[in-house]
Amino acid sequence: MRLEGKVAIITGAGGGLGRAVAERFANEGAKLVLVDLNEEAATQTIEVIKKITSDVHFVQANVTKKDEVKNFVNEAVDQFGRIDVFFNNAGIDAEVTATSTYDEEMFSRVMEVNTTGVFLGMKYVLQVMQEQGSGSIVNTASVHGTRGMLNRSAYVASKHAVVGLTKTAAVENAKQNIRVNAIAPATILTEITKRVARELNPDNPQEHFDIMKSLIPADRIGKPEEVANLVNFLASDEASFITGAIVPVDGGMTAAFYRAES
């Protein structure tokens, strides 16, 4: 098992990607600290994990609040003694509208969760990993963290920022045996993407998925477990010489020349 005996924190553990990664990590032998603001969603993940291992601890936290981030980091250390892996995954989507008409409060909120939340998580987990002299962080970016997308200025900006934070932290910590990478998923079939599809086209949400599928050379939407496979590898010692990488899990989307979604 790739993560036998390792301690892993997962934020956004109640969401589709968080749950898939938590399940994979548990099957790989990790001890888990699951973090989410939504206790109900996290409880559903915990029920899945407890069928695999009893080494699971939940902390309710808002990743944009410094004290709450410090608390889940401290609880991980208190509970299990160290932090080997951090899947820095919590994030939100946002309204779909042009930059010229984008709501300013919504823009600030997206940046706060998707960028400041990622920064705070890295800041306080890195302090533990630096003391240990080892660790692996995997941030959740997006295919849209390296390119533009119509009517999604806040989300695209926030994920570009995650890419920058990832590369900077990787360079800063490489000599200390700490690796920092990011995943860049395309559309993955989760409850969040289903909700976005319903909001964009209440009468025919499938049309959104059909459009997104047409942009992906593999001609299908991704599965959460496919993302979990990548995160598991990057978290493991098998990826010991990989740091500062932004790894797509996108069915070839970023490799292709494509039309923008309208």
Decide: 125 and 135 in contact? Cβ < 8 Å.
yes
List the one residue out of 50, 90, 96 whose CA is nearest residue 261: 96
List the one residue out of 188, 185, 205 whose CA is nearest residue 247: 185
Residue 258 annotated among the catalytic residues of the structure: no
Q: Token match 């892993």: residue?
A: 8
Distance CA 206, CA 212 (A): 10
List the beta bridge partners of residue 249.
185
CB atoms within 10 A of CB 145: 26
Distance CA 251, CA 238 (A): 23
Q: Token match 């923008």: residue?
A: 260
Q: Which of 102, 124, 155, 258 is catalytic?
A: 155
Alpha-carbon torsion, ordered 117, 111, 162, 238, to 10 deg: 40
Query: Which positions are annotated as active-site residues?
Result: 155
